[in-house]
């Protein structure tokens, strides 16, 4: 749990935008994993299994309270920790760029956002994403490409 | 390969997810297309920005909280967690649900009379039962049983009491004689008032009229009532009479004013109209109208009677009326019969001789009955005929 706590929490907070809700989802993820540990077959990575639980909990929560989550999401992402170090001018620019990136991710549709988060922020392979989200490999590839194109358009002034 | 097809594979190309054949085709197009090359470079910079984002870290104490949460919770905590968490979602919904249920309950209660009635019935049952104040027991309305016969000094019971079947059945002859004498005196003096009272009582209820009852009892062989108001003896106050002495218990307060009125009427000089038994509001025609009620008194012999033979009966009756008016004698009764008019006069003892002499002046007076001793008011019956 110590090994995966940051990854699980990272997926939840990128998806939900609220650290408090992300912690609740992360706790629920580990509690469910603990309760269903006997059912874990071992043919998949433990991380993929945990990502699968987290992604399902986040998508369910978003589906149950989309409007409220959307309002809190931008504020929560803006408060995420910024990259440390560097010159003040460069830090300001980097901070602004990161904030713009957080907002761009938060504005993605949920089905695209989860793919980008799992791939570009958590580094999962296409196959792992397809297994975690129970999607076809081609669906993962197309959703990921569209999500990246959306981000490129929104972040064009920083490119 | 077109530019659109080539750009669809840029993400997979950057991720190294393309098959070697696809990778070769994409790279061949990029070598000849500057736009697609620039597009790929922009996408690569976007991915660089994403990869440069710092990784989110779980808050401090997260693992401890998860371990704490993994421990078996008491049932109430599990229930509360299941009911209220997440608070932001469930609490407003549950509060709204409680308000809706409360409003619904109030609505149902207000629109269901059975529930309101049940609530009213349950309310006194739930609280302490109030102790009712003791109700004073009313004294029995029936008079005390008579222990002895009524005497002349006993206050007269009300007529309604006289008519009750609880009267003593047997009386001594002496008492009956005394009572008969008193009744006769009463009839001679207070007959007009009794007739008026009888009419009033008959108009109030259909019960037997006390006055008529007395008169009928006088005529009938039935046992007479216990007592009649004595005309000459002023009875003591009703309340002063002990209940055990009289045949009837002191009557209710209602008859008392009547007795006082009778005494007052006896004490003051009576106007001729009052002696005639007519109330001030009575009309002249009522005397003959009341005739059917009176014949019972004819069974009681008058003090004096006689026949007045005249030539002109109408003129004789006018002369009689003038005579009575001059001497202050009241005509108490008149009835037309086959052989003439039967007129009864209540003649004061002082003017009785003069009244008889006046009769002789009107016509030929033949006395059938003369009183041995004159009572204060002589009841004189005159049969006027030709």
Q: What are phi and psi of B289, to 5 degrees?
A: -70, -30
A positions 72-131 inside 8 Å of B (CB): 80-84, 97-98, 101, 116, 119-121, 126
Contacts (Cβ under 8 Å, ≥6 apart) of A37: none
Q: Which residue of B has its CA nearest to A62?
A: B89
Spatial distance between the Cα atoms of B381 and B305, rounded to a whole number of angstroms: 5
Q: What is the pLDDT of residues A43-96, one digit of tens each?
A: 678 888 899 999 999 999 988 875 454 545 545 555 555 555 556 667 788 888
Q: How far is A43 from chain B (nearest CA, A)?
A: 22
Strand B364-369 to strand B304-309: parallel, antiparallel, or no bridges (unpaired)? antiparallel
Greatest alpha-carbon pair distance for chain B in Å reads 177
Beta bridge partner(s), residue B340: B337
Of B47, B50, B55, the CB nearest to A6: B55
CA B66 centroid distance within chain: 80
- The chain B residues in contact with chain A (CB within 8 A) are 8, 10-12, 15, 17, 42-43, 45-47, 49-59, 62-63, 65-67, 69-70, 85-86, 88-89
Please indicate if any CB of chain B lies within 8 Å of the CB of A37.
Answer: no
Two tokens at A139?
Answer: 């669906």
Spell out the SS3 assignment of B270-299: CCHHHHCCCCCCCCCCHHHHCHHHCHHHHH
Q: Which long-range contacts (C-beta less than 8 Å, at least 24 apart) are formed by B132-138? A: none
CB contact under 8 A, A65 and B52: no
Residue with tokens 């002895």: B148
Of B43, B52, B62, the CB nearest to A26: B62
Q: Which residues of B touch A8 (CB under 8 A)?
A: 58
Q: How far is B93 from chain A (nearest CA, A)?
A: 12
- Peptide linkage before B86 cis (omega within 30 of 0): yes
A positions 130-149 inside 8 Å of B (CB): 141-142, 144-145, 148-149
CB pairs under 8 A between A and B: 100
- Structure pTM? 0.43
> How many helices (H) and strands (E) are present in chain B, helices listed first?
16, 5
Helix, strand, coil shares of chain B, percent, nearest 5, are 55, 10, 35
CB contact under 8 A, B57 and A64: no
Residues of chain B with pLDDT under 50: 127, 129-171, 205-260, 262, 264-265, 267-292
CB contact under 8 A, B11 and A141: yes
- Encode burial over A107-126: b for 16+ CB neighbours within 10 A, e otherwise: ebeeebbbbbbbbbbbebbb
**Alpha-carbon dihedral sign for residues B63, B68, B72, B73:** negative
CB contact under 8 A, A97 and B43: no
CB A144 within 8 A of CB A115: yes
Spatial distance between the Cα atoms of A13 and A115, rounded to a whole number of angstroms: 14
Q: Which residue of B has its CA nearest to A121?
A: B51
Q: Which residue of A has its CA nearest to B14?
A: A145
Q: What is the pLDDT of residue A88?
A: 66
Indicate the pLDDT class of residue A131, thresholds 50, 70 and 90. Answer: very high
Sheet strands side by side (includes B377-385)? B330-337, B340-348, B377-385, B304-309, B364-369
Q: How far is B105 from chain A (nearest CA, A)?
A: 29
Within A43-136, where are the H helices? 46-64, 66-78, 88-106, 110-116, 126-133
Residue with tokens 């490119």: A159
CB contact under 8 A, B58 and A149: no
Q: Which residues of A touch B62 (CB under 8 A)?
A: 5, 9, 23, 26-27
What angle do helix axes A88-106 and A66-78 make, rounded to 10 degrees? 170
CB contact under 8 A, B54 and A82: yes
CB contact under 8 A, B58 and A8: yes
Q: Which residues of A touch B66 (CB under 8 A)?
A: 1, 5, 26-27, 30-31
Q: Which residues of B touch A128 (CB under 8 A)?
A: none
Q: Which of A1, A28, A140 to mutate to test the interface with B (most CBs of B within 10 A)?
A: A1
Q: What is the pLDDT of residue B252?
A: 42
CB contact under 8 A, A152 and B10: no
Please indicate if any CB of chain B lies within 8 Å of the CB of A71.
Answer: no
CB contact under 8 A, A148 and B42: no
User: What is the ipTM score, two decimals?
Assistant: 0.83
Q: How many residues does chain B have?
A: 386
């Amino acid at each position: 749990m110590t090994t995966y706590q940051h990854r699980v929490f990272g997926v939840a907070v990128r998806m939900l935008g609220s650290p408090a809700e992300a912690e609740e989802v992360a706790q629920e993820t580990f509690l469910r994993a603990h309760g269903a540990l006997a059912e874990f077959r071992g043919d998949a990575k433990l991380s993929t299994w945990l990502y699968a639980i987290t992604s399902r909990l986040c998508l369910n929560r978003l589906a149950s309270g989309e409007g409220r989550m959307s309002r809190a999401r931008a504020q929560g992402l803006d408060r995420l920790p910024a990259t440390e170090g560097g010159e003040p001018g460069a830090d300001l620019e980097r901070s602004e760029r990161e904030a713009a990136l957080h907002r761009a991710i938060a504005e993605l549709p949920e089905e695209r956002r989860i793919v980008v988060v799992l791939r570009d922020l958590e580094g999962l392979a296409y196959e792992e994403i397809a297994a975690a989200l129970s999607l076809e490999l081609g669906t993962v590839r197309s959703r990921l490409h569209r999500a990246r194109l959306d981000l490129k358009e929104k972040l064009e002034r920083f490119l | 390969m077109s530019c659109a097809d080539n750009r669809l594979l840029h993400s997979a190309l950057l991720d190294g997810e393309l098959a070697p054949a696809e990778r070769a085709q994409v790279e061949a197009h990029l070598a000849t297309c500057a736009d697609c090359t620039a597009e790929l470079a922009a996408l690569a910079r976007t991915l660089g920005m994403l990869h440069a984002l710092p990784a989110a870290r779980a808050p401090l104490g997260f693992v401890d909280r998860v371990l704490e949460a993994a421990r078996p919770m008491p049932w109430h905590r599990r229930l509360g967690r299941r009911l209220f968490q997440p608070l932001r979602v469930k609490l407003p919904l549950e509060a709204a649900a409680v308000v809706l249920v409360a409003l619904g309950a109030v609505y149902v209660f207000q629109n269901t009379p059975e529930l309101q009635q049940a609530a009213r019935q349950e309310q006194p049952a739930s609280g302490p039962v109030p102790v009712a104040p003791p109700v004073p027991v009313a004294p029995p309305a029936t008079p005390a049983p008579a222990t002895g016969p009524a005497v002349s000094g006993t206050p007269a019971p009300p007529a309604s009491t006289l008519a009750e079947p609880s009267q003593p059945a047997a009386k001594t002859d002496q008492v009956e004689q005394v009572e008969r004498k008193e009744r006769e005196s009463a009839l001679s003096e207070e007959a007009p008032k009794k007739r008026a009272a009888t009419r009033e009582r008959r108009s109030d209820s259909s019960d037997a009229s006390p006055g008529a009852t007395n008169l009928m009892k006088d005529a009938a062989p039935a046992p007479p009532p216990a007592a009649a108001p004595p005309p000459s003896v002023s009875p003591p106050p009703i309340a002063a009479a002990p209940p055990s002495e009289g045949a009837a218990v002191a009557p209710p307060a209602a008859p008392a004013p009547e007795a006082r009125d009778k005494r007052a009427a006896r004490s003051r000089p009576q106007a001729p109209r009052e002696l005639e038994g007519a109330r001030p509001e009575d009309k002249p025609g009522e005397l003959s109208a009341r005739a059917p009620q009176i014949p019972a008194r004819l069974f009681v012999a008058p003090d004096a009677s006689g026949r007045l033979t005249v030539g002109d009966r109408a003129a004789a009756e006018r002369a009689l009326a003038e005579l009575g008016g001059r001497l202050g004698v009241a005509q108490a009764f008149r009835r037309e019969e086959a052989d003439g008019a039967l007129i009864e006069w209540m003649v004061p003892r002082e003017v009785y001789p003069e009244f008889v002499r006046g009769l002789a002046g009107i016509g030929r007076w033949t006395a059938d009955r003369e009183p041995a001793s004159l009572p204060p008011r002589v009841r004189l019956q005159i049969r006027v005929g030709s």
